[in-house]
């Protein structure tokens, strides 16, 4: 497994475990995270605040279905499932597009497409 693939798997595990510290260390200060159709999060501080809010639901189950890497870009597609309230889970299909900094393996842009899966 190549370094970039390892990093992408670690990033997805960190999202699943709500590991704010690892995720914050994996981005540049000027990170741009666009959650398409919802909002854009700009800068490390706003990124960390958004991650802290994600912790409310607790750990998530993320299953990566596809991972594509080309130079400084990568695409991760998968399914995420998490608790929205005690005893009630929701599933979402997601596609994350990562753009890495030219110098190193830090994320400078992340674009997330997400949709709820309503049928089994």
Instruction: Considering only CA atoms, give the Rg of the chain.
Output: 14
Q: Where are the domains of the chain?
A: 3-117
Say what the pTM is: 0.90
- What is the side-by-side strand order in the sheet with 27-35? 39-42, 27-35, 107-117, 88-100, 73-85, 61-70
pLDDT digits (tens, 9 = 90+) for 18-75: 899 999 999 999 999 999 999 999 999 999 999 998 877 777 899 999 999 999 999 9
pLDDT digits (tens, 9 = 90+) for 65-107: 999 999 999 999 999 998 777 778 889 999 999 999 987 789 9
Q: Return the CATH fold of 3-117.
A: Nuclear Transport Factor 2; Chain: A, (3.10.450)
Q: By 3-state DSSP, what share of the chain in percent is helix, strand and coil, each rounded to 5?
A: 30, 50, 20
């Amino acid at each position: 497994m190549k370094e970039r693939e390892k990093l992408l798997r670690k990033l997805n595990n960190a999202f699943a475990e709500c590991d704010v510290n690892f995720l914050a260390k994996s981005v540049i200060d000027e990170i741009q995270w666009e959650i398409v159709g919802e909002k854009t999060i700009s800068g490390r501080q706003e990124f960390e605040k958004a991650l802290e809010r994600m912790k409310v639901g607790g750990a998530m189950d993320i299953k990566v279905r596809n991972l594509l890497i080309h130079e400084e870009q990568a695409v991760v597609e998968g399914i995420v499932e998490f608790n929205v309230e005690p005893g009630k889970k929701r599933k979402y299909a997601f596609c994350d597009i990562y753009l890495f900094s030219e110098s190193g393996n830090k994320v400078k842009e992340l674009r997330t497409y997400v949709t709820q899966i309503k049928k089994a």
